Amino acid sequence: MSIRFEGRHVLVTGASRGLGRAVAIAFAREGARVGVGYRAQEADATQTLAMVEAAGGRGEAVRFDVRDSAETNGAISGFARGGGLDVLVNNAAVLRDQLFAMMAPSEWEEVIAANLTGTFHCCRAAIPFMLRQRRGAIVNIASVAGRRASPGQANYAAAKGGVLSLTMTLAAELAPRGVRVNAVVPGVLATGMGERLDRRIAEQRRAMIPLGRFGEGDEVARAVVFLASDDSSYVVGQSLVVDGGLSL
C-alpha cells in the first residue's frame, strides 16, 4: 500500500469528532502530519489526536474559531510554520435547523458565519503558504443540501451552496499557480450531525437513499484524501458527490 502523504502537512478543521475525525485519521494512515482543528471540544480533539497517532501519523491539536479572522490566521500560520501546509480541509460546520418563516436572524447569521465565512477565513489564511511553494490542495466539505431543496435548512443550504460556488471560483484563480481546489459533497452520514437526527426524520431520509443506508465517515474521508492527493492531479474545481445516490 502506498503512503501518499508522508512528509506532507494537512490541516483539517472541525476534526474533534464526526466526519472531521474520520478525515484526520484517513490522512494519518497515509503518513501525514495532521493538524486537528477544533473550537471548543478539547477532550474530543485530544481523542482524535490519539487516533491520528495510532493510525501512523503525526498530529497536533490546533484550537481556533473559524468565524474569527484574526484567530484563524494566527492558528493556521502557526501550524504552517511547524513544517508547512500542503492540504487544507474545510470541514468545520454548524446546524441551526428551522423553517424559514420561523428562523431567527441569529440562526441564519451563525450558520453563514461558521460554514461559509469560516471557509473564506481558512482559505485566506492558508493560500499564501501554498502559493509560496507553488503547490497545495484545498478540499471544501459541502453538502447535498447545497445542491437541492432542503426544507428546514435554508441557512445551511445557502451556506453550502456558497461553498460550492466559492470552490469553483477559487479553483480557477489558483490552478495556474499550482493550488488545486475541489469539494466533496456528502449525503446523510451515520456519524457527526447525522447521529443527532430525530429518529423519524432519520428513517424518512434513509428511505430516500438508493443504497438504503447512511454513509460512513470513512467513505467520505477516502474521497477527501483522493482529491487532496496526486492521484487527482488533473482534477480542478469539481464537486465529488458521496451520498449513496440520494441526489439522483
Q: Which positions are catalytic? A: 156
Helix (H), strand (E), coil (C) string for 29-88? HCCCEEEEEECCCHHHHHHHHHHHHHCCCEEEEEECCCCCHHHHHHHHHHHHHCCCCCEE
By DSSP bridging, strand 58-63 and strand 33-38 are: parallel
Angle between helices 118-133 and 69-81 (to 10 degrees): 30
Q: Is 65 exposed, middle or buried (0-12, 13-18, 19+ CB in 10 A)?
A: middle
Report residue 43: phi and psi, to 5°. -65, -40
